[in-house]
Chains A and B, each alone.
Chain A
Amino acid sequence: EAGVAQSPRYKIIEKRQSVAFWCNPISGHATLYWYQQILGQGPKLLIQFQNNGVVDDSQLPKDRFSAERLKGVDSTLKIQPAKLEDSAVYLCASSLATGGYEQYFGPGTRLTVT
């Protein structure tokens, strides 16, 4: 079974530029999550999708971050414009459904904003 795929693995941009990350969840998984992991901290949930609908985006900085999952499969997370404090690893995870199912994590995208 293929795992959660993410691209790119690494990205370096200057502040005020825009960037997008892509995630393809495990086939058949209805729930998709985006996390932000700042160096020295645990991952923090940014947004959770159930199929193509948003379940929880309470910690997403909506003035600069956006995410979509248009067909209920893969997803894109965008930052526009980026700030220095956005430097982090962005993790995508998926699970069969909400409510206690195991989350499977991708390898992450390491973003450096200079």
Chain B
Amino acid sequence: AQSVTQLDSHVSVSEGTPVLLRCNYSSSYSPSLFWYVQHPNKGLQLLLKYTSAATLVKGINGFEAEFKKSETSFHLTKPSAHMSDAAEYFCVVSSSGYSTLTFGKGTMLLVSP
């Protein structure tokens, strides 16, 4: 079985300040982990993915995430928020070798000027 817990339903930051979106996972097998972003009225877009290579993963738009097996965490960070980053973010787990994705409930990122 696999599951994902996103620890915050909403995160508010000011433009130019760091972003931290927290995610913990549970998986019976070696997991693949993903972060997706969903802008209003648009499809989900893959930000980055971890598939058992480097534990620090760099994605698009300056986002990165670190896989920590001992903490079963995969937190998403960005050094400096932009207004365009305001969206909903989903942490996703998939058991190794399978394509079934299990989504967290999402974290809404709000960016104020």
Contact = CB atoms under 8 A, between A and B. Distances in A.
Nearest to A42: B103
Contacts of A105: 36, 43-45
Contacts of A103: 46, 99, 101
Interface in A74-103: 91, 93, 95, 98-103
Interface residues of A, number: 25
**Main SS class of interface, A:** loop
B42 A107 contact: yes
Contact of B44 (A41, A44, A91): A91
Interface string A48-65: 100000001000000000
A74 B100 CA distance: 20
Nearest to B49: A102
Interface stretch (B14-22, B62-70, B90-98): B90-98
B43 A42 contact: no
A106 interface: yes
A45 B103 CA distance: 9
B27 to A, nearest CB: 14
A67 interface: no
A48 B98 CA distance: 12
B103 A43 contact: yes
Given A106-B43, A108-B43, A100 B103 contact: no
Interface of B: 4, 32, 36, 41-46, 49, 51, 90, 92, 94, 96-101, 103-106
Interface of A: 3-4, 31, 40-45, 48, 56, 91, 93, 95, 98-108
